Amino acid sequence: MSADTARGNTGWRWALAAVIVAVAVAVALWPQFTHTDDKSAATGSTTATGPAEPAVAESDRAAAALAACPLPTGAPVGDSPLRGITLDCLADGRPVDLVAALAGKPALLNLWAYWCGPCAEELPLLQQFSQQAGNALTVLTVHTDQGTAKALSRLSGLGIHLPGVEDPNARVRTAVGAPAVLPISVLLRADGTVAKVVVRPFTSVEDISATVAAELGVRA
C-alpha cells in the first residue's frame, strides 16, 4: 500500500469517527431539549389555581332563588379562626366577610358540595331547622368546591333556599382544622368563635336541634 493510500484511509477513518461522535453528542443532548420544551408547555397550560371558573349567569342565580346573605352587623367579634375570610355570596355574587356578617347571633355553617350524596340528604333537614329557629340563629351553607353553577343547580333541584357562599379553596374547612370530608357543620357563637365542629351528617331535624341546643344554647 502506498503512503498516499494509507494517508487517505487514515483521513477517512478520522472523518467517520468525528461523525459518530457528533451523532452521539446530539443524541445525548436531545432528551434535555425535549424535556425542557415539554416542561415549558406544561407550565404554560397548567397553573397552581387551575382553569378559571366561567362566569355564572344571573339567570342561574335568579332560578335558584336563594335567600340573601347576611350583612355586617357591627357586633363585636372575638378571636375567630374565620376572621379575614371573605367569600362570594351564591345569591348575587357579592363578597361576604363571614365574621362581620355573622356576628351578633349564633350561626351554623354547613360545608357541602354539589356531588356529595349525604349533603343532599342533610340540606333539607337544615332548611327545616332554619325555619324552626327563625331569627335566633343563622344557617349558612358553604359550597366547599369549585363550580358555582353546579352548586346553584343542585340547590334548586333540592328546593333549598338557604343563604350560601362559595368556598372553592376550602378556606373555612382549613381555618377550623376540619378533615377533608363532607358534610361538616361549624357551630359559631355570637362573637364568631367556634363552639363545635360536627364531622358527620345530621340525621334528623331533632338531631340538629339537640346538637345546637347543647353547643350554642339555642333551642328551636
What confidence score (pLDDT) does residue 56 get? 87
Flag whether pLDDT at 36 surpasses 90: no
Whether 113 and 143 have beta carbons less than 8 Å apart is answered as yes
Mean pLDDT score across all residues of the chain: 83
Shared-domain flag, residues 90 and 153: yes
Task: Give the pLDDT mean for 193-220.
Answer: 97
Shared-domain flag, residues 6 and 68: no
Shared-domain flag, residues 182 and 156: yes
- Among 37-41, 76-80, 124-128, 211-215, the least confident range: 37-41
Flag whether pLDDT at 119 surpasses 60: yes
What are the residues whose beta carbons fall under 8 Å from the beta carbon of 153, sequence distance 6 or more?
A: 60, 64, 114
Asked whether residue 53 is assigned to any structural domain, the reply reads: no
Structural domain harbouring 43: 1-47
Task: Give the pLDDT mean for 123-137.
Answer: 97
CA–CA separation, 135 and 219 (whole Å): 12
Shared-domain flag, residues 21 and 67: no
Q: Taking the mean position of all CA atoms in its chain, how far away is CA 125?
A: 24
Question: 144: pLDDT confidence band, cut at 50, 70 and 90?
Answer: very high
- At 123, the amino acid letter reads L
Shared-domain flag, residues 64 and 152: yes
Task: Give the pLDDT mean for 16-24.
Answer: 46
Whether 125 and 206 have beta carbons less than 8 Å apart is answered as no
Shared-domain flag, residues 74 and 30: no
Q: Taking the mean position of all CA atoms in its chain, how far away is CA 27?
A: 45
- Specify the higher pLDDT residue, 174 or 9: 174
- Specify the higher pLDDT residue, 30 or 110: 110
Q: Taking the mean position of all CA atoms in its chain, how far away is CA 26?
A: 46
In the numeric block, which cell numbers belong to residue 22?
Answer: 457528533
Question: 33: pLDDT confidence band, cut at 50, 70 and 90?
Answer: very low
Domain count, the chain: 2
Task: Give the pLDDT mean for 182-197.
Answer: 98
Phi and psi at 120, nearest 5°, equal -65, -30
CA atoms within 13 A on the CB side of 115: 5
Flag whether pLDDT at 13 surpasses 60: no
Asked whether residue 184 is assigned to any structural domain, the reply reads: yes
